[in-house]
Amino acid sequence: MAKKSYTLMVVSDHNSPVKRFHIQRSFLIQLGVGVMLVGGVALGATAHYFQVAKDAAENRILREENLTLRGQLKSVRERIEHIGSTLDRVERFDQKLRAMTLLSDPQRNLAMGPTEPGNTAPTTDTQFTQLSHSEVPGVLLGKLDKLSAEATRQEQSLQELQAYFQDQKSLLASTPSVWPARGWVTSDFGQRLDPYTAERVTHAGLDIAAPHGKEIHAPSDGTVVFAGLEGGYGNVIVIDHGYGIKTRYGHLAKMLVKAGDKVKRGSLIAAVGNTGRSTGPHLHYEVRVNGIPQNPRKFILEE
């Protein structure tokens, strides 16, 4: 069977003879297959190129995100180290304050944690500052949880210390630590001869001789709970300073405060007089703690 072929004629514009080219059908088929293969390869190459370009762009984005995450993790590690070191310093300071204020005394049940050196838990410095650069976010989150718990414990401990010092500040403000009036102590606290009966009796305060009308000032903060006449003491003022402490002022010529008034240390409250059972102008001054007379001198800090 003869092979099929095609004749291609080329006709020139001039008088040249017509050129004929015989092309076998199989050649055309092979040529078409070849063109299709080349086209397929070109199309595949093009698709592969765009895929590679897309992957390269995604890889670049991932690298940038990875660098950003590494930077963030480094920052987190540094912050954890800083917080851990700070908490460690705060804990050491807290222990010093507790030692100074006896707040770690087990009998007071105020210590927040172990106080014996052998039982002390690792400090935040050893727990949190030695961080590996290969730590995963889960480990860092665990350390952050521990830091949060430690910070909460320290906050509670410092709140307790704040309450203690606030109470001490209030106690100091309420302690009658200055002289209520300037003068001469003519009769001290303790046993003495009564100037009227000549009998030995207990004198529950100090007698401070001063000119009539001499100013009397509150020796500490408090509330006036009584202002009026009281038997042989004449005009009397009683101030409640809290913490079971009360002060009493007798033989007053003039009372400048009334019951219910709030006074501060140094407030003018009265004037020296000679009212009641008195042999001359003076101030009878008492300090009572839970109702029991105390020597006022042990509270007075100034000369």
Q: Which residues contact 214 (CB under 8 A, 6 or more apart)?
A: 181, 182, 183, 271, 272, 281, 283
* Per-residue pLDDT at 287: 95
Say what the pTM is.
0.52
**In-domain check, residue 87:** yes
Phi, psi of 122 (to 5 degrees): -55, 140
Contact indicator for 278, 235 with CB cutoff of 8 Å: no
Examine the pLDDT at 211 and tell me if it is beyond 60: yes
Rounded to whole angstroms, how far apart are CA atoms 165 and 97? Answer: 10
34 and 170 co-located in one domain:
yes
Are 77 and 135 in contact by the 8 Å Cβ rule? The answer is: yes
Mean pLDDT taken over the chain: 80
Domain boundary among 156, 174, 192: 174
Q: Would you mind telling me the total number of residues written for the chain in this entry?
A: 303
Does residue 15 sit in helix, strand or coil? coil
Domain that includes residue 216, residue range: 184-298
Kindly state whether residues 188 and 284 are assigned to the same domain.
yes
The stretch 242-246 carries a mean pLDDT of: 92
Whether the per-residue pLDDT at 54 is higher than 50: the answer is: yes
Q: Is the pLDDT score of 87 beyond 60?
A: yes
Are residues 99 and 59 part of one domain? yes
* CA–CA distance, 201 with 276 (Å, rounded to integer): 18
Which residues, in sequence order, are bridge partners of residue 209? 184, 282
Percent of the chain with pLDDT over 70: 81
